[in-house]
A and B are shown apart, each in its own frame.
Chain A
Amino acid sequence: MERHVLVVFPHPDDETFGCGGTIAQFAKSGVPVTYICGTLGQMGRNMGKPFFATRESLPKIRETELEKACQAIGIQKVIKLGLRDKTIEFEDPELLADRIEQILRELKPSLVLTHYPGYAVHPDHNALGDVTIRAISRLSDQERPIVHAHAFARDCQDVLGPPDIVNDISDMAEVKLAAIRAHRTQSQLVLGRLANGQLKKPSSKDSYSHMLRRESFWTYHF
């Protein structure tokens, strides 16, 4: 059993869409989970459907959504880095790695979930994943947690091979769906399309229902 799971992602909702079921399973089995959330997703273009957020109200709304989603999946503690959406790759990576390193030394997680640098599509994902890997690589072999990295770039399977960690999260499908719903501004459009049958069939690997059954990760090798 894990001692403590540390989750590091840049946007409120990354924790839910990418690994909400996995986190919920850890939380349910009594493992403490801490989430380092980089930004408030200030620059998202989804404003709800029908839209109810503005560019200026979005960060506060997403902060509340994050709170509800964390409650749903069982994340007890959120550390907000206070960075700005779309700007992480322009920050000094060593300074950001210092902050992550300090948290790592404090919490001593046995497992870290983060984005696989270079294979996580959004520049913020790749940048924060990179900084997290830098921070973890500063630890000694004995201190270093296992890293399960999330990747979804179109070429990731070609380059990284198939994911070595495939979690069956069917038992947490309802919990994950509740967390997805909590991220209202970000999920209303896609949930509406799902209800209208505009999304891919359940058999498709990228489909929403696939997302409620399986979550995959690549173990990062140092």
Chain B
Amino acid sequence: MNPIDKSIVQPALDSFLNRDVYLHLETTNGAYAAHNRESNMTVGAYIRNGRISYGRGIITGDGPYRVGLKMELGWVYAEGLTDFEMEQEGQLLLAGHDQEGRLAVALELSLHPFEL
């Protein structure tokens, strides 16, 4: 992955406008957060292959970045995004890594389902 460049990511978000896209969205503070006493709770959530369509999608902020995808009946939102990758055709990967390089948040879009 490379540090987010909005001038590349914004057109990539636009390329998915009004299409059926598969969404991977997650956030985590690590499966051992509570055990290692890094935090008093282990917190995480993920959606794998949610199918969505959005008519407006924006990346904003000065880094770390935020993304909002406006759907007919709701929103997809992520903050803390730092890096992106577009190596696979029809796929945009965005992730937020902490100072140690650990993934804390991810928002990924794809025209094809993500592998299970």
- Inter-chain contacts of A59 with B (CB < 8 A): 115
Count of A-B contacts with CB under 8 A? 57
Whether, in the assembled complex, B32 has its beta carbon less than 8 Å from a beta carbon of chain A, the answer is yes
**What are 21 A-to-B residue pairs whose CB atoms are below 8 Å?**
A43-B28, A45-B31, A47-B97, A47-B101, A47-B103, A49-B100, A49-B101, A50-B101, A51-B103, A54-B1, A55-B24, A55-B26, A55-B93, A55-B103, A56-B93, A56-B108, A86-B31, A121-B35, A153-B35, A189-B101, A189-B102
Whether, in the assembled complex, B104 has its beta carbon less than 8 Å from a beta carbon of chain A, the answer is yes
In the bound complex, how far is the Cα of B28 from the Cα of A56, in angstroms? 16
In the bound complex, how far is the Cα of B93 from the Cα of A54, in angstroms? 8
Top 7 nearest A-B pairs by Cβ distance? Answer: A51-B101, A45-B102, A45-B103, A49-B101, A121-B35, A55-B106, A122-B31
Main secondary structure of the interface of B (DSSP, over half): strand
> Quick one: given A54-B1, A189-B100, are A122 and B32 in contact (CB under 8 Å)?
yes
Q: Please provide the chain A residues from 34 to 78 with a CB less than 8 Å away from any CB of chain B in the complex.
A: 43, 45-51, 54-56, 59
In the bound complex, how far is the Cα of B108 from the Cα of A214, in angstroms? 42
> Quick one: given A43-B26, A55-B95, A59-B115, are A121 and B32 in contact (CB under 8 Å)?
yes
Q: How many residues of B contact A (CB 8 A)?
A: 27
Which residues of B are at the interface with A, using a C-beta cutoff of 8 A?
1, 24, 26, 28, 30-32, 35, 44, 46, 48, 85, 88, 91, 93, 95, 97, 100-104, 106, 108, 114-116
